[in-house]
Structure 1
Amino acid sequence: MSDTWSKTPHRSMSAESSSSGAQHHALVAEFLTALGQALASMSLYGAGHPSRGISRTRAHERLAAALAIVYPLRLTFLDGDIIVGLQALHELRAGDLAQRLGAAGVQRLEFDGAVPTDAVMTALLDTLYAAAGPHGTPVTQMVALPGIRLGPVALLSDASEDNSPTGASGVGRQENEESAFMNALVTAGLQEELDTMTWIASSTAARGRVPIGDVEAVIRGLSLSMQAEHDTLIPLISLKSVDEYTTVHACNVSMLAMGLAESLGFASRDVRAVGTAALLHDIGKVKLPESILRKTGALTDSERALMCTHPVEGAKLLGARGEGHALAAIVAYEHHVWANGEGGYPTFQFPRRTHYVSRLVQVCDVYDALSTERPYRAAWPRARTLHYMRLQAGRELDYDLLLAFFDLLDRAERRQAAG
């Protein structure tokens, strides 16, 4: 008899990983596998059945082995993905265990480095099963056990109590560590995704194919950053130099599009599909000369004509990947066509409304493009950007999506002000 709890991750290390990193990740994967099996046995057997005790002991032993090398051990579960410390394990498929834990509010699981006692290990399994079992009640606040904390990802950074025996001074230190950790998680993740996106562009230009696996890894990192912000203003990346514009713009538009899609009630899987399409909306620019992309003055007529080919080039690159990436190809092709189909480029032979996701990405694209410094002009002030976008409502920009986007920005600002 099988149970989906046992479908847990197995680590497959890349050639670039160090031997020590491989050992660390393998130990974590073994612990998660044993944890999934222990939870599965709880759903299959009664409280006194020996199989439950055997699986609990195995999970306890695997945890002890992991904590002997990885300490403190901090695990994050988001949409079926797993992050150990600050590193998103892109090649580790977290499977149903991580999906269930995340959905049950156990987005973070932290061990302070000390091996828990048998009683604490039993309490941990009981807590996880109570939240994510067949008739579980999701966790809505931080739960503390001796040496262990678990709960929603954002709440752990706001925890007001500490379970360590260090007394009052330990409370403040723990809070500071958590706050610093969450900030580092966002910052480190975004820098990694920026570097990966730069590599994606160069690889696509050289090979004529988009490395979709790496694109999905970037989306996971950006999604994690959004989750860590916990509904405050989306963590848009600031330019360090105008040379970074194409890469930073792609990541910002992706985060804005995922935030807007989420606010509109899209399912998690669809939010990521929108984020992927947004991340690749300008991928056709890899076919353009750098001299045009970085030109500080106005483009000539011939240069502008060449610039206007990037939607078609992007659709060709993504279309070559097959039907599974059709949405990204459509958005790449349509994101500069007006929402009403009567302007922009490329020109439709028969005017029509563009795809809903194309219109969604277009709103985010225009906002970030105007708000960010470009090689040929300074960033527009926020008021000017929003005024321009209002003027384009119902023409260049979809009216309803623009209202939803403004509402997203307003709610984010209110949360920031309240926090």
Structure 2
Amino acid sequence: MTVTACNPQQIIRLLLAASANVSLYGPQHPQVVRLLAQLCSQLESVLESAEELSFMMVDNELVINHQPQDACLFLSRIVELFKARGIEHLGISRGITPPEVEELVQALSTRPGTDGQLASSEHVRFGRLELRLDENEADGCGEVAGSPEALLPKLSEQELEQFNEIYRAVKRHQKLRLGGVVEMVNNLVDVLRQESLPLLVLATLRESDEYTFTHSTNVCILNLAQAAALGIKGQQLKDIGIAAMLHDIGKLFIPEEIITKPGALTDAEFKLMQEHPVRGARYLMEQTGAPRIAAIAAYEHHAKFDLTGYPSFTPGWRLNLGSHLTMISDFFDATRTRRSYREPLPLDQIMNLMGSLAGSHLHPDLTRNFFQLLQPLTRS
């Protein structure tokens, strides 16, 4: 899928042209002044409808506002420019000033390796995609300190009942009560702001009938942690969390005896189960106010990185970044949770399994980044 609006790609063209002209003529040349004015105008236009314009490098691929871009000459040039300067994320937020635009262009035009060339400002942020954890985030015995129960006071019986009522309404084919989902995601965002190690706040499963709520909550937490580490924030971050909470909503339209069956599904039952991404996406597309990424992630979260999953995808289909994150979070939490028909896998087995699936089932670079979240748990 490609960004259809021309403005973000036009901004790339102007960034390339302005930085090249600054290198040739200097910042005061009339041609540079004209290009900077056009760039300011384009940015103002794009940021009227979005808090931030995000450019990310994922596996040598440019992602603009979470949408991978089809390869072309000028996008290849910006990819090479970013790589040469060590830029893996560029965030431009609403309110950027002309001096900040000029500083950005100067940074991109400066010869790679020059000290101080990537200084962030209030509305321009440079970053990298790697997830980093400080050495002091685990105690001296190699065990993770802290308690999920202490860090998640708002995952209460009341919130569980609220979640179940939302799902009961969906099963009755009523309108989605999005406000309750938004409230839960906002709570989780607040908790993660206070805790740098996301695995400390994963909820534990107490009873079998809590599985949907607990699993959706944990996928949300892991999605938020991954997205925040990629430099995503504000409403876009919350939308990725909402998508995680609702990624399995299509299962509500599958017979319950199939969903809760303790043994292996028959071929006919599995074929019916495979319909839940389409049913979930269709339902979410009909809900006023539901973020578009929620329907996309619901549709794509079983696609697999190589598109061999379900539903079937046309060759060249470009998966959304939010879907890649959800696949990783979904797989990790499903394998670490005890179910009636299966014991949870040990952490080292989960990591080995995810590593073997990176590049086929899971996005390879994002999987390696996700492993950084697990490092404090693997220290001896």
Q: In structure 2, list runs of 5 or more residues that go unmatched.
A: 1-145
**2: distance between equivalents of 1:284 and 1:311?**
6
Q: Could you tell me which residue of structure 1 aligns to residue 320 of structure 2?
A: 355
**2: distance between equivalents of 1:410 and 1:331?**
27
**2:172 aligns to what SS in structure 1?**
helix
What one-letter code is carried by the residue in structure 1 that aligns with 2:326? V
**1: distance between equivalents of 2:280 and 2:329?**
18
Shift of 1:195: 2.7
Q: Could you tell me which residue of structure 2 aligns to residue 258 of structure 1?
A: 224
Higher Cα radius of gyration:
1
Change (3 A) 1:323 1:219: closer
Q: Could you tell me which residue of structure 1 aligns to residue 86 of structure 2?
A: none
Whether the 8 Å contact between 2:297 and 2:322 is mirrored in structure 1 is yes
Is 1:223 paired with 2:223?
A: no
Kindly report the root-mean-square deviation, in angstroms, between the aligned alpha carbons of the 2 structures: 2.5
Whether the 8 Å contact between 1:190 and 1:225 is mirrored in structure 2 is no
Q: What is the count of residue pairs matched by the alignment?
A: 236
Q: Could you tell me which residue of structure 1 aligns to residue 56 of structure 2?
A: none
Whether the 8 Å contact between 2:247 and 2:298 is mirrored in structure 1 is yes
**2: distance between equivalents of 1:413 and 1:263?**
20
Q: Could you tell me which residue of structure 2 aligns to residue 387 of structure 1?
A: 352
Whether the 8 Å contact between 1:288 and 1:310 is mirrored in structure 2 is yes
Which of 252, 274, 277 aligns to 2:243? It is: 277
Change (3 A) 1:209 1:413: farther
Is 1:240 paired with 2:206?
A: yes
Which of 264, 274, 277 aligns to 1:308? It is: 274
Q: Deviations over 1:278-322 (max 9, x none)?
A: 110000111112211111111111111111111001101100014
**2: distance between equivalents of 1:350 and 1:379?**
35
Q: Could you tell me which residue of structure 2 aligns to residue 93 of structure 1?
A: none
Change (3 A) 1:196 1:227: farther
TM-score, normalised to structure 1's length?
Answer: 0.52
- Counting only pairs closer than 5 Å after superposition, residues 72-151 of structure 1 correspond to structure 2 as none
Is 1:332 paired with 2:332?
A: no
Change (3 A) 1:185 1:260: closer
Shift of 1:234: 3.8
Deviates more, 1:367-376 or 1:404-413: 404-413
Q: Which has the higher contact order (CA 8 A, sep 6+)?
A: 2
What one-letter code is carried by the residue in structure 2 that aligns with 1:409? L
Q: Deviations over 1:31-77 (max 9, x none)?
A: xxxxxxxxxxxxxxxxxxxxxxxxxxxxxxxxxxxxxxxxxxxxxxx
Shift of 1:366: 0.5
What one-letter code is carried by the residue in structure 2 that aligns with 1:294? T
**2:180 aligns to what SS in structure 1?**
helix
**2: distance between equivalents of 1:379 and 1:231?**
21
- Counting only pairs closer than 5 Å after superposition, residues 149-168 of structure 1 correspond to structure 2 as none
**2: distance between equivalents of 1:257 and 1:191?**
23
Q: Deviations over 1:104-157 (max 9, x none)?
A: xxxxxxxxxxxxxxxxxxxxxxxxxxxxxxxxxxxxxxxxxxxxxxxxxxxxxx
Whether the 8 Å contact between 2:248 and 2:277 is mirrored in structure 1 is yes
Q: Could you tell me which residue of structure 2 aligns to residue 370 of structure 1?
A: 335
What one-letter code is carried by the residue in structure 1 that aligns with 2:309? G
Change (3 A) 1:199 1:228: farther
What one-letter code is carried by the residue in structure 2 that aligns with 1:197? F
- Counting only pairs closer than 5 Å after superposition, residues 29-108 of structure 1 correspond to structure 2 as none
| Percent identical | 36
**2: distance between equivalents of 1:338 and 1:186?**
31
Change (3 A) 1:409 1:322: same
Shift of 1:184: 5.3
**2:222 aligns to what SS in structure 1?**
helix
Shift of 1:408: 2.0
Q: In structure 1, list runs of 5 or more residues that go unmatched.
A: 1-178
**1: distance between equivalents of 2:240 and 2:231?**
12
Change (3 A) 1:183 1:397: closer
Whether the 8 Å contact between 1:314 and 1:333 is mirrored in structure 2 is yes
Shift of 1:241: 2.2
**2: distance between equivalents of 1:366 and 1:327?**
19
What one-letter code is carried by the residue in structure 2 that aligns with 1:284? G
Q: Could you tell me which residue of structure 2 aligns to residue 205 of structure 1?
A: 171
Deviates more, 1:246-255 or 1:206-215: 206-215
Shift of 1:230: 4.3
**1:233 aligns to what SS in structure 2?**
helix
TM-score, normalised to structure 2's length?
Answer: 0.57
Shift of 1:403: 1.0
**1: distance between equivalents of 2:367 and 2:291?**
26
Change (3 A) 1:185 1:192: farther
Change (3 A) 1:187 1:243: same
